[in-house]
A and B are shown apart, each in its own frame.
Chain A
Amino acid sequence: MKIVVCVKQVGALGDEVEFTEDERDVDPDYLDHALNEWDSYATEEALRVRDAAGDGEVVVVSAGDEDAEDAMRRALAMGADRGVRVWSQELAGADPITMARALAEVVRGESPDLVLCGVQSSDAVQAATGTALAELLGLPRVAVVTKLELGDGTATVHRELEGGLVDVVEVDTPCLLTIQTGINEPRYATLRAIKQAEQKEVEVREAGELGAPAARVRNMFVPPKGEGAEMIGGSSAEIARRIKEIVDERTAG
C-alpha cells in the first residue's frame, strides 16, 4: 500500500504586514510558518491506512523552497516514511493549477494506491490543488472527506456538504481524496520523533515544464476597513461592563 500525501508549508500573518517590493505577496519576514492544518489530518489518515494494511509506505510530497522542508519534517516526524520536494522559482506564489502540475509530475512517478491532500491551505484558501491534481493524474476523486473505509477496488467515503449534511460516496481506487479536519485526531510528534525525522530521506527535484499559469496575483493590499467594529478600550473590567450594557440593550424586549 503506497500512499502519497501532499503537504504544504503555510504562512500565517501576525498583527503586522509588509508587502514584497512588487506588491504581489506578503514579505515572508512577516509570516510564521507551519504545516497546513488540513495536511496534518491527511498525514494522520495516511498513517492509519498504512498501519491498518500492515505494510506499505507513506510518501509526503511538497512543492516549496528549502524552508518548506520544515513542514515536511513535521509530517515525517508523525510517521511518514520519506519525502519528495519539488521546486522552481516560477512556483513562488503560483496558482493552484500550476502547483498541481508541479505535484503531478512527482506523484505520477510514485504510482500510489491512494493520494491524499488537504481540503484547503489556510493561507491561500483555494481548495483547488487536490482536485486539479486528480484530473492531471487521471484519478477519480472526492473532495471534503470526513470518513474513509477502503474496500477492494473501491473506497467508501463520507463527503461533508454545507450544513453538515453527509453524502456517502463509493469511489473507485486508486483515487485522490481531499481530507477535512475532524476526520481523525492527528498524533503529536514527540521530540524524539522530530529528531529522528531529520534522518529521513527527502529527495529534491527541479520542477519541469509548468505551462501557462491559470492566474496571477496582480497586487496584494490590506483591505480598507469598512464601517468596521467600534472598538471597546480600557481594562478587562471596563470591556466586560460595556459588553453587558450592549447585551442588555440588544436582547431587551
Chain B
Amino acid sequence: MSILVVAEHVRGELRPVTLELISAARELGGPVAVAVLARDPSGFTDAVNVDGVDEILAVPIDQEEFENDVYQQVVERLIEERSPRAILLGFTVNAMAYGPALAAKLGLGFASDVFAVRDEAGALVAERSYYGAKVNGEVEFPGHDQVVLLLRATAWPPAEGSGAATVTEVAVPADGSRARHQGWVEVQAADVDITTADFLLSVGRGIGEKENLEQFEELAKTIGATLSVSRPIVDAGWMPSARQVGQSGKTVKPKVYLALGISGAVQHLAGMKTSGTIIAVNTDPEAAIFNVAHYGAVADLFEVAEELEKLY
C-alpha cells in the first residue's frame, strides 16, 4: 500500500518540511506519492521530484494560497482513489487546519507531532511526547488500516537527490472555500536581527515579571550577547516579536545560545536546536531543554545571572 505525502508551499515556495515528509515516507516503504495542490502545480514538481518519490499527483486548484476546505476536499478524494496506508502531513499551521478533519470525517487513525513511525508486523506505531516533552508515548491505531500523521518538522532529514517520478495530473472539482485567503501582513522590519548574532542570551517565562527584563537587557550588553526571548515574553508584550526564537519566530544558529528559564517546548526547540553550543539554566532538572543542551545547570537563573555579571 502506498504512502501519500501532501506538499506544503507558501507564497510560491516549497516548505522544507515537504522533503522531510518524503524521507519519512521512504523509511516506511511502499510506493510514495506526493500531492501538489497549486494553481500551477508544475511550479513545484521539480522541487519534489527527489530520490524515493514514485509519483507526483499534480492537482490544479483555483487558489494561489492554502485554504483548508480546498485541501481537505482534494486530499479526501485522493484518499478514496488511492487508498494510501498513511497520509503524511507536516505538524504545521496549515495541516492543523485540515488533517484532524480528514481523520474525523473519514474515521481514520490519527496522531500529530509525531517524531518516529515504525511498521510492526504490518501495523503502524507512532511516537510522540506528552506533558511538556518529559514523557514519550508509543501510539497504535487498532482497527485502522489508514492513518493521518502530522510529523514534527526537522525530525527527519530532508530527502535529496534527483528522482524519476511520474507526474499524474488529477482533476478534483472543488466546492467554494468557506475560509478565504485575503492577503499577507508582512513581518515587521526590526532594529535588531537575532539571526546573525554569534552569542544569544535568551530568556523565557522563568524570568517571572516584566520588571525583571531590564536586568537581562543589561546583562546581555555586559557579556556581549544579543537578547532573544521565548514566545510568552512576546505574547505579554514585553518584547517585540523580532526577538522571538522558535517556530513562529526566528530560526537562529548562533555559536552560543544561553537559555535562562526556558522549558524547551517543541516550538521553541524548532528555532534553536541547531545552535553551535547550547547552555541551559533551569530550576527543573527534567526540563526538556536539557535534552538538546550541550551544557546544563540546574540553578536559579537570577543567581547565575548575578554571578555572571560580576565576571565581566
Contact = CB atoms under 8 A, between A and B. Distances in A.
B235 A182 contact: yes
B99 A218 contact: no
Given A163-B187, A240-B304, A135 B69 contact: no
Given A165-B10, A219-B138, A251-B199, A232 B130 contact: no
B103 A97 contact: yes
A106 interface: no
A211 B105 CA distance: 12
A124 B132 contact: no
Contact of B304 (A164, A217, A236): A236
Contact of A135 (B104, B139, B280, B290): B104
Nearest to A227: B294
Contacts of B105: 135
Which of A129, A217, A241, A247 has most chain B Cβ within 10 Å? A247
Contacts of A1: none
A168 B286 CA distance: 39
Interface stretch (B155-163, B166-174, B242-250): B242-250
B308 to A, nearest CB: 4
A216 B296 contact: no
Given A124-B130, A131-B99, A143-B97, A247 B223 contact: yes
Nearest to B120: A218
A223 interface: yes
Interface string B288-312: 0011011111111001101110111
18 contacts: A125-B130, A127-B112, A128-B112, A134-B101, A164-B250, A168-B181, A170-B182, A178-B96, A181-B231, A185-B236, A214-B110, A218-B137, A219-B138, A222-B135, A236-B304, A246-B256, A246-B279, A251-B224
Interface of B: 10, 15, 65-66, 68-69, 91-94, 96-101, 103-105, 107-113, 125-126, 128-132, 134-144, 147, 150, 178-185, 187, 198-199, 223-224, 231-232, 234-237, 241, 244, 247-251, 255-256, 258, 266, 276-281, 284-286, 290-291, 293-300, 303-304, 306-308, 310-312
